[in-house]
Structure 1
């Protein structure tokens, strides 16, 4: 399942209640500070956030219209390589003629599977004018596109990207919105990684309960930025068979991270079984806990290595990600959480040794709710994958209250794209998870004839205070629980050179079941909790594979 290529229909122009004549391209008509030679419409219309919310609410009262357009053959037949050779001409960027603008906007071309026209608007003083497509805005060298097939057509755009000063080139891109409601941003490491989405609908539903729906951002409005500030405000209209939505993004392109304040209004057309708020999509192929899961020359391959959760009761949970053999769906009761995110915790190049994709530089994404979300759960979906180009991890918050047609739902939150989340517990944190051959008996030496009873061994390392400064002989207790089977041979010790502590235990099955086993672990001293909670899910191998010759992954 390559989620970045799954797009749903886009909204046609008539859905905005405007006549076709209002959208005819009139190149060269522009307001000061909007861009050089950008094709702006002569006719402006009033625009405001309140208007967008009213319009989305009214749309939800009507049936959804699929207005996906058939692209010219030269665009529809593009492969990824040739599509990527189409580039927007920086000289035509939005706000390129404004010397005081610290951000500029460039647009993605339609083509390949990006076959929905996304409409773009420039907003000045509450007046919006459409930015029209024309071939002169793009460079086609190396793409193989026959530009003669594009003349006279207002194809719209596929999405947009934001670049910042001083050079505004593609190398300075900090934010990109492309495909359905997907968007991404970078941090100080200048590396794109995982994606966010505007909304998730029916993700990972059982086959007999329906398929996933991918709402799409169909229109964007760009407010002229304040001078000499790398900030901008973008509004978006979302549409799908099940819902509409009105979004406001206040995007702060800081020097070391990108912070987005998101205001979301959702208007369902019909009941939604599984609504995902602030969805995040990432990739996990192999990591420290699954070193033998895939045959790769790179030691770790992932955009994110854990789901971190800060629950409403103050508990911090670290859930290492897993590349399962079959789809895994987990929901963690979270109320209105204080925060959650898919985290790339390990940024040590030595642990990856990857100079091609630089997974060591991938950003983390943290969601901080800024309104009362009510009761709900944080959902984690893990899908099997054999390759690093497929997103197989999804996380989102799901409201407990059923979503009905005619609802008016509001969620406000802040997204942080940074190396690590902006918040962390005042407790020791999970550092690494390892697993391997378990089982022990007095006098057994690994490598010799193994014990008769098969077991799986887990080791969890914790870093930071208060553990780091504790003496190696400090009396510490491990609170371990498992949903199935039993744990034995528990040991706790300090990894002296690292100032970390390791908890190690063996898990023994109680039956032939291959149902996922949930494990929880934290350290304490008396009644004092010392660490965040390590939460893990592991699937036991088939009974015939529970032997030392066919040790599972």
Structure 2
């Protein structure tokens, strides 16, 4: 009889292994029984999915094994991306469900297998690879009978037209997923969970191992995905309800079952690439004005303060923590939507989504954490933001988080007063390490000088020395510019804070900035 550890590996790795019978196993374990309840031919049940995740968490983690054909593992990314399901053979094609699915085989860098099931008429159905369903492009096709594990899926819908031909949702690679809104191109990516980011013991990477995708009703505008996440330290069950549109909204329910006390866990994490922008062009020799998925981190904290923190590509790893209680929202935003700000006809950075996290319910004490990693190319995702609970998530307990993700052009909520529209830095007069800063605040009220009367810039610094501060209204541009010089003196890190005030009351969001050499 197989060991419990070997049996768990087979349950997580292969759909066929989940079809267990009493003739094969005389006395099924709790895990085997729970697995059977969420496998092929069974009715979908949230309670059954939770029970399965709970039982998975009660045994030691075993990474799934997969036999990926050598012909696929040797493909580069460009070759691999040629392999797609034929449009008329995608899941639900021609059924007027509002969505179709392209199931993605393992191959190239995507070698971690996942189990994919659909839920048709409330009944779970396994999905298995069939080579004749795929267009291989210039890649030599596999035989129809080839056994190939899946690595994820794409969901298509009618974002920009009537037919479901637009990619709206992709799950592939560890716990990564991404979405976008009408007219956008893919940019910021989300993760299901992060563990021990930037810690000395090294980061642990959870992964989605199994999916149950509910077949939408006729003409549906939303799709529901259930996912099992697993890794050494924790098992999780997720439910995603995704509604694509002018802004794509994704409601997330996450139930976590830790195997150990989780000291550093990231909830609702998102990641972006950032190479340079007008506030960070040191050593840049590039025809483009900026290269990034997101310009900064915005936070609407539990006290009602709006914070804008431009991100940077630092020389050394930087971690910033914004302590809060019951945050109202946070996200990585792409604020500049002008083509000329980037001048890239291929990447189209101006069309990349902002991602805004709206906690549903109280999340208690913790911090929004921002991680900035130095990179020298635009392919690496070096910006990471997430919520870190103050209290560790206890082993053996169940922890529930719900939040709403907005993949959008701008968040559904925004400050009622002036917001930061631009941050620029450059060398200041006087030489040395002195830097000149230009921070522009924008508001429709700034078109009327009378409405901007009495404004003053409240600028503070933790280290270094500030000089040549100048606040100036520009009515024709609807902005208020604050210019100043920073002399870091002997410091290698200076924290800056700037807010427009009138009679001691904030009239803008709070600009925060960390200068490093």
Q: Which residue of 1 aligns with 2:365?
A: 375
Task: Please tell me whether the aligned partners of residues 49 and 248 of structure 1 are also in contact (alpha carbons under 8 angstroms).
Answer: no
**What is the aligned counterpart of 1:139 among 128, 135, 142?**
135
Which of 211, 217, 226 is equivalent to 1:226? 217
- Deviation at 1:452? 7.2
C-alpha distance in structure 2 between counterparts of 1:246 and 1:495, whole Å:
52
Q: Retained in 2: the 8 A contact 1:339–1:369?
A: yes
Aligned mate of 2:120, from 121, 124, 130: 124
* Secondary structure in structure 2 of the residue aligned to 1:45: coil
Q: Does the alignment pair 1:328 with 2:318?
A: yes
TM-score computed with the length of structure 1 as normaliser: 0.85
Distance in 2 (CA, whole Å) between partners of 1:466 and 1:492 is: 16
Corresponding residue pairs, total: 491
**Residue in 1 aligned with 2:513?**
536
Provide the rounded CA distance (Å) in 2 between the counterparts of 1:375 and 1:473. Answer: 36
Number of the residue aligned with 1:474: 453
- Indicate the residue corresponding to 1:464 in structure 2: 443
**SS of the counterpart of 1:53?**
helix
Q: Say if 2:104 and 2:150, in contact at 8 Å, map to a contact too.
A: yes
Q: Mind listing any 5+ residue stretches in structure 2 that lack a counterpart?
A: 1-7, 21-37
Q: Tell me which residue corresponds to 1:543.
A: none
**Aligned partner of 2:11 among 9, 14, 21:** 14
1:102 Cα offset (Å): 1.1
Q: Which of 83, 104, 126 is the matching residue for 1:86?
A: 83
Alpha-carbon contact 1:70-1:115 (below 8 Å) kept: no
Is the Cα–Cα contact under 8 Å of residues 66 and 149 in structure 2 kept in the other structure? no
Q: Aligned partners of 1:251 and 1:436: how far apart in 2?
A: 42
Cα 1:15–1:350 shift into 2, 3 Å: closer
**Does the alignment pair 1:240 with 2:231?**
yes
Task: Give the whole-Å Cα distance in 1 for the aligned partners of 2:209 and 2:136.
Answer: 24
Matches within 5 A, 1:221-300: 221-254=212-245, 256-300=246-290
8 Å contact from structure 1 (residues 189, 362) kept in 2: no
Aligned to 2:197, the other structure's residue is in SS state coil
Deviations 1:291-318 (A, max 9, x none): 3442222111100001000000000000
In the alignment, the residues of structure 2 paired with residue 118 and residue 308 of structure 1 have an alpha-carbon distance, to the nearest angstrom, of 34
Q: For 2:201 and 2:491, locate their aligned partners in 1 and report how far apart those are by CA, in whole Å.
A: 28
Query: What is the CA–CA distance in structure 1 between the aligned matches of 2:463 and 2:186, rounded to whole Å?
Result: 39
SS in 2 for 1:397: strand
Q: Which of 487, 490, 498 pairs up with 1:521?
A: 498
CA distance in 2, matches of 1:134, 1:87: 12
C-alpha distance in structure 2 between counterparts of 1:125 and 1:140, whole Å: 31
| Structural RMSD (CA) | 2.2
CA distance in 2, matches of 1:362, 1:474: 36
1:422 aligns with 2:400: no
User: 2-side partners of 1:183 and 1:386: how far apart?
Assistant: 24
The match for 1:188 is: 182
Match of 1:396 among 372, 386, 394: 386
SS state of the match for residue 371, structure 1?
coil
Deviation for aligned residue 1:369:
0.5
Distance change (3 Å), C-alpha of 1:532 and 1:506: same
Gaps of 5+ in 1: 1-10, 24-40, 440-450, 541-553
In structure 1, the residue matched to 2:157 is 164
Separation in structure 2 between the aligned mates of residue 322 and residue 152 of structure 1, nearest angstrom: 46
Residues 460-479 of structure 1 deviation map (CA, whole Å, 9 limit, x = unaligned):
00001444433498332211
In the TM superposition, 1:198-217 aligns within 5 A as: 198-205=192-199, 209-217=200-208
TM-score by length of 2: 0.90
Structure 2 Cα separation of the partners of residues 400 and 424 of structure 1: 26
